[in-house]
Amino acid sequence: MRFARRLEPRYAGTVTDPYPLRTLLDGEFGTWAHSVSTAYGHDLREADIADGEATIELDRAIGAFDGDVPIAGAAMYSRSMTIPGAVQPIAAVTWVGVAPTHRRRGILTAMMRWQLHRLHEAGAEPIAVLASAEATIYGRYGYGVASRLARLDGERGAMQLRCALDADRGTIRLLRGAEARPLMRDVYEAVRVVSVGWLDRPDKFWDARLYDAEHNRHGASAFWFAVHEDPGGIPTGYAIYRLRDHTTVQIMELVAATRQAYAAVWRFLIGIDLHPRITFDASLDEPLQHMLVNPRVLRSTLVDNLWVRLVDVDRALATRRYATALDVVIDVMDEFCPWNTGRYRLRAGGDRVTCERTQAAADLRLTSRELGAIFLGGTTLASLAAAGLVEELRPGAVAAGSLAFRGQREPYHPSGADFPAY
């Protein structure tokens, strides 16, 4: 199911607003994109503008204006994301920035409020998701860290795979982008529908993923594409990577539909000569660390990955499935989206899930930020309670909730290209 993209006709701020907000008009994207990019110190080229304009939805992109000049912006993509037990339409928040000349004036808060209030008022996607350039920004708007990634750095020559791994009779082929794309698309589609945190990738987002302008390579090579095919010629895995200065294999994306393909792609990457290091952003429970004879050759840095915001608590909690049966009353506090404040009875058993307002006594008390953090099944209620961020009002409610919300694998989003930080 897709929600209607237009939230309301070309909303504009009131005449008393010093920097009124409105959705973009035809022909405004380029100027707006340059303004947003100044927040990150990026100098966009014409090719960058064309790449961004190909994916933008003008009626979901807003600007703050000083006179006729855009000085801030924020946008949303209409996407679907795999959540525990379902694939759910979500609002993917992107292109967020305020020009350095207009910071500390409440403009970002106004844009965040615009987005969330209009999603709620339109009955649109009940979940908003983003990747944050800074970790201190979005918690104030009710977003919680729902997934983390491991930034891996390894010495390629010391990365020896254990010999007990499944033998592989498939092949690895190095292909050009146009040849690799339909094969990679098939593999990605098979994997993303069963991988929590992964987004759908229509053609225009494949175009964005494979956009590879030379000025964005920062001294590394163009993309290389390695595709694994099983003995029957079916594509089952791939890697997109760059090579840097005879020093580093930079893996941009690695996807495998079978464990044999996963091991084979890693064997290939580890075997690339003349580049002693490998870098890779991976899920926290990446299988590679268990496949190495010496797992200490991988150095890991923990980084936040996806931030989740429940726009409408009752609708959002009813979209996902739960690992165990659950009957719990949650008292939610939400200052930024006050319609969410109140108590909800969440009942889950198999494929039947309901979440309804109630006057019953609460078992747990927490804010919308904590609900966003636990939504994908990575961050646990127990860890948040230990940090003093969840109040247990009925003994055993935290333990029961932690088990029910938990996923089989750590949630993870594999590509920053889905949330361009311009």
Q: What is the pTM of this model?
A: 0.93
Tens of pLDDT, residue by residue over 242-275, are: 999 999 999 999 999 999 999 999 999 999 999 9
Tens of pLDDT, residue by residue over 366-386, are: 999 999 999 999 999 999 999
Judged by DSSP in three states, 362 sits in coil
* Annotated domain spans of the chain: 21-130, 149-304, 312-405
- Provide CATH code, domain 21-130: 3.40.630.30
* Cα–Cα distance for residue pair 395/399, rounded to 1 Å: 9
DSSP string, 157-223: GG-PBPTTSPP---EEEEE-HHHHHHHHHHHHHHHHTTSTTPBP--HHHHHHHT---GGGSTT-PPP
pLDDT for 18 equals 87
Cα 335–chain centre separation: 24
Q: Which CATH architecture has domain 312-405?
A: 2-Layer Sandwich (3.30)
Asked if the domains at 21-130 and 149-304 fall in one CATH topology, the answer is yes
Tens of pLDDT, residue by residue over 113-130, are: 999 999 999 999 999 999
Superfamily of domain 149-304: Gcn5-related N-acetyltransferase (GNAT) (3.40.630.30)
